[in-house]
A and B are shown apart, each in its own frame.
Chain A
Amino acid sequence: MDAQPQFNLTAALQTWLSPFKKSGSFTDDELNELTSHLLDSMEALQAKELSEQEAFLIATQRLGPVDLLDQEFTKLNRPVLPRQEPVILLLGVLCFIGSRNLFETITGFVPVWLASYWGDTRITLLLDAGLCLATLLGLQLGGMRLIREGHWLGQNFFGRLKQRPVELTLLLGLLVGVSALGAYFAQHSFADFLTMTAQKQWVNQQFYHIHHICWLGFYLVWLLMFLQVVLPYATNQRLFVWLEQAPAGWLVVAGLCVFTCCLGLSIMGMRILAPENGIARFYISAGLASLLSSVVLAGSPRYTAFKRLLLSIAPLFVWYTIALSTALVYEERPSYLVLDWFPVKFFISALVGTLAGMWLGVLKQRNRVVA
């Protein structure tokens, strides 16, 4: 008995909390409340001469298993009251327009400003593309914090919504108005800039393509946010938790989406780095897409490692079949899809990506257990 390690309450609490956090049906506030209850319960038990460890075990038993609590909480865990839903809808529209204007303002002025420093060089293009991606990332992260009730940004937002909905709506409206003005000027200055680069026959003038692909990214980010908000409403699960248990068909569709997104982004990169020969973008995208898929699926309780490997590569196989069949029908000369060992290189990069993703997934799982 003495050989047993000392009972560590903080670690035990963390282990106890982790499945609750993973289930996604509890807000941070509710978890704090349950923890506080557990500690109260333990205190009472310890007053009856029980050890800390015994008290912890009995107190957690009394509180009930995760499944039961999960069931009870998912029944009602709606951050928004039904009558507020129209207001939320309006706010969502305002946020969309506001962020769109903001994005246009930033991506319109920045290339003009960068070009004034770096001129007709690849650095301008790369910096421009980098900034566009950073803006997208900021938008996604900011948006996710906003809709998460536990985060201070979300708490602030929903608290304000509860207490002063009119003020919040007016504030957002003002933001939309001001950013619209910015977007208007940014759009014009960007258009003038494009005309200037065309007239002066710049070598590096792919700004137009970069920005189009960035807009694609912008809408994809909104689509992702939409999924992350709507899915919990429809299935009571967070996106990633849902993905870990989703049927194989849905996973292949999701994998195809990821691959096309990667392809879109790599087209942007390739136009800057190697405008003449951009075939490498397919290999990069295949590797990246299968890496992301296998990382997301790493914690899946439903699929074995081999099935996960197949599921990560299956979307690429589907894509290749579709692409090849259309190429054979419509292209007269031999397609690049069969030349130069394309399929071999394509699927090998996918396999490497999957294996790397699985390895990262194991690390992720280990962190989860340790935490």
Chain B
Amino acid sequence: MLQQENLNKELVAAAMVPLVLSVLAQQENYGYEIIRQVRELSGGKLDLAEGTLYPVLRKLEQRGLVESFWQTAPNDRQRKYYRLKEQGRNALATERTNWNLVNQLLQHLWMPNPSLT
């Protein structure tokens, strides 16, 4: 089986919103840390494009799914944190249903079919 180094861009772009929402569901976080966590959890296979994360965060903010605030980090630098809002939790639940559906469908299709010859 062909083992790919990284996932293709389209898939990463499609998964961006549920990934960001899921990371934020654990705790409030800032951009750099979100990317780092996703990279670490995927074993380095899923790398969110750094420049494209912020427009996505802003879009989520405009849709009222997350809210942002500046906070001073322990090293005395200002960081912009994002927090999931109630509406964001609902959106995440919907995303979860959808992705589960796709996942189940693919699993079903990929199962070896015993009835053939």
CB contacts (< 8 Å) of A30 on chain B: these are 54, 58
CB contacts (< 8 Å) of A75 on chain B: these are 55
Q: Is the pair A37, B31 in contact by a Cβ cutoff of 8 Å? A: yes
The minimal Cβ–Cβ distance linking B72 to chain A, given in whole angstroms, is 11
The minimal Cβ–Cβ distance linking B47 to chain A, given in whole angstroms, is 9
> What residue of chain A has the Cβ atom nearest to residue B63's Cβ?
A81
Interface SS of chain B = helix
Interface size class of B (residues with CB under 8 A): 10 to 19
Q: Is the pair B50, A33 in contact by a Cβ cutoff of 8 Å? A: no
> What residue of chain B has the Cβ atom nearest to residue A80's Cβ?
B62
Contact string against A for B residues 10-53, beta-carbon threshold 8 Å, 1 for contact and 0 otherwise: 00000000000000000000111100100000000000011110
Alpha-carbon gap, A33 to B68, bound state (A): 11
Q: Is the pair B58, A63 in contact by a Cβ cutoff of 8 Å? A: no
A40 interfacial contact with B, CB 8 Å: yes
Contact string against B for A residues 15-52, beta-carbon threshold 8 Å, 1 for contact and 0 otherwise: 00000000000000110111011011100100000000
Q: Is the pair B79, A36 in contact by a Cβ cutoff of 8 Å? A: yes
Q: Knowing A72-B55, A75-B55, A76-B55 touch, does A37 contact B78 (C-beta < 8 A)?
A: no
Q: Is the pair A63, B50 in contact by a Cβ cutoff of 8 Å? A: yes
CB contacts (< 8 Å) of B51 on chain A: these are 63-64, 68-69, 72
CB contacts (< 8 Å) of B32 on chain A: these are 36-37, 40-41
Number of A-B contacts (CB under 8 A): 51
Q: Which of A33, A39, A81 contacts B54 (CB 8 A)?
A: A33
Alpha-carbon gap, A77 to B54, bound state (A): 11
CB contacts (< 8 Å) of B62 on chain A: these are 76, 78, 81
> What residue of chain A has the Cβ atom nearest to residue B58's Cβ?
A76
CB contacts (< 8 Å) of A40 on chain B: these are 30, 32-33, 79
A62 interfacial contact with B, CB 8 Å: yes
A73 interfacial contact with B, CB 8 Å: yes
- Which 4 pairs from chain A and chain B are nearest by CB? A64-B51, A40-B32, A72-B55, A69-B51
The 23 listed contacts between A and B (C-beta, < 8 Å) are A30-B58, A32-B80, A33-B54, A33-B80, A36-B30, A36-B32, A36-B78, A36-B79, A36-B80, A37-B54, A39-B77, A40-B30, A40-B32, A40-B79, A64-B49, A64-B51, A64-B52, A68-B51, A72-B54, A73-B54, A75-B55, A76-B62, A81-B62
